[in-house]
Amino acid sequence: MATNYVQTSGKLQTNSAGYVPIPGLSLTIPEGVGIEAIVILNLPNPYATGNNYPGANLGISVDGKVQSNFACFTYGVPQPQSFNRMPTTLVVGVPLGQKPQKIEAVWSGVRGATVIIDSPASLTVLLD
């Protein structure tokens, strides 16, 4: 089984209302009709700031098209007094195609939130 893996370092953040790539979290998967890749996005310590039930949407993009499976977290109060860490993992199956495909982790803020990653996050692709 082949494994492809990338990891971020340093502080990253977004306040985008729509999905944008997470810097450093992209890979290219090979061609392979009839085979499915398992894509794992792991953010062990993200958090979001804001004053309207802040949170984040997280997804996987294949050749620029965001897949329908996604992960999300939000806080249960409109203005949290502290912004707890919200460990989040997303697992998506991606069919290999006739040519290599670019896989990217994407994210956006929920209701105007700023999403912050200040510890390593990773994108892993498992191929059989």
Question: Has this prediction a pTM greater than 0.85?
Answer: yes
- Residues 18 and 118: their CA atoms lie apart, in Å, by 21
The amino acid sitting at 12 is L
Residue range 18-59, pLDDT digits in tens = 999 999 999 999 998 889 999 999 999 999 999 999 999 999
Is residue 10 classed as helix, strand or coil in its secondary structure?
Answer: coil
Which residues contact residue 108 at a Cβ distance below 8 angstroms, ignoring those fewer than 6 apart?
14, 16, 17, 18, 19, 20, 56, 57, 115
CATH number of the CATH domain containing 97: 2.60.120.760
Question: By residue range, what is the domain housing residue 18?
Answer: 2-127
Number of domains in the chain: 1
